[in-house]
Amino acid sequence: MTVDSKGRGRSIFQYFLYGSLAFLVYYLVRNDLLHLPPILSPIRALLAMFFLMLGFLMSALVWKRLLALCAFEVSLAQSVASIGLSVFGKYIPGKIWVVVGRAAYLSEKLLGPLVPISAISLAEQLISLWTGLGLGVFGLLLLGRLSGFSWGLLPVWLALFLIACDPRAHRVLEAIGRKLLRRDVDLPHLSLTLVLSTLPYFLALWLSWSAGLYFLATSLVPAEIPFAAGLAFPFAACVGIVVLIAPGGLGIREGLVAGYLVMAGLDLAQAKTIAVTSRLWFLVGEALFFLSALLVDRLSRPPRKP
């Protein structure tokens, strides 16, 4: 599919934007996420927000860097706008909307083909999952809590790497896709050099959000919490996506965060409080990033001709 006119590209992205906002409202009402527990340390809560927003900024830098390596030059403002305005696409059933939303925005801005940019977006998701899952399991290793389930994720971790980098895996998966869908399937092809060159960006992204969760946890409960507990965030986010393709990983992510925190030494009540609050914390960050992207998009538009 190619966006061949500016008007058409805009309509695709606008429909996506309105749909994602509608599903976000439905998600908030259905899950009653507007309850905030007492904050014991406002300074740590502010640090949690700082690292949360730093993570969103890193996501824009990652996206910009990967596009540049694939011969699509975009500005940081365009990268921020494409990710921020499509950030609520995760609440539309099916994770594909996260991939397509930002690609549709850039396709409109660059007047370029949608499919190649969507393929790069999918590749970014695969590398992000691979990096985040690895960090999450590494956190369990630091906590001395590796289990059969953790080791069972190793094949998934290797599969993500092969899908992203190995040409033979591409050919096999594309052949399977052609048989199942009865149409050509073009998966993103990435070299090992490209993946390794973006790895520091992905690590900085996940570690920023991990630091945010750590400071959020220490702002809510008086217990002593190891920093490795913050790696519950990438672990839960990535396993939640791998286990169930659903709106935002409903319920699964919170359960995984709580379980991870229990393994880090917290009691179940404290872990549940942090896990549920982390969803609201991240939603607030998404809303702020969305508003920032909206402002960036407005300011970057050329002035209208009189």
Q: How does pLDDT run across 204-215, given as a tens digit for each residue? A: 999 999 999 999
DSSP at 303: P
pLDDT: is 27 or 99 the higher one? 99
Helices 268-300 and 192-220: angle between axes, nearest 10 degrees: 120
Residue 290 in tokens: 């969305």
**Euclidean distance between CA atoms 209 and 238, whole angstroms:** 13
Q: Are 62 and 205 in contact (CB under 8 A)?
A: yes
**Euclidean distance between CA atoms 24 and 97, whole angstroms:** 13
Q: Which helix (H) or strand (E) holds 40?
A: none
- Which pLDDT score, from 0 to 100, does residue 70 have? 84
Q: Which among 252, 207, 265 has a CA at the least distance from the CA of 54?
A: 207
Q: Which are the contacts of 154, defined by CB distance < 8 A and separation ≥ 6?
A: 137
Q: Is 149 left (phi over 0), alpha (psi -120 to 50) or beta?
A: alpha
**Which amino acid type is present at position 116?**
P
- Which pLDDT score, from 0 to 100, does residue 33 have? 58
Residue-wise pLDDT for 120-132, tens only, equals 888 888 889 889 9
Angle formed at CA 210 by CA 194 and CA 100, multiple of 5 degrees = 50
Residue-wise pLDDT for 139-153, tens only, equals 988 988 766 556 666
Place 7 in a pLDDT band, splitting at 50, 70 and 90: very low
pTM for the model:
0.81
Least confident of 43-57, 120-134, 145-159, 250-264: 145-159
**Euclidean distance between CA atoms 20 and 83, whole angstroms:** 13
Q: How many residues would you count in the chain?
A: 306
Counting other chains too, the contacts that 109-113 makes at CB distance below 8 Å and 24 or more residues apart are 109/74, 109/78, 109/82, 110/72, 110/74, 111/3, 111/6, 111/9, 112/3, 112/72, 113/2, 113/3
Residue-wise pLDDT for 61-82, tens only, equals 999 999 998 888 899 999 999 9
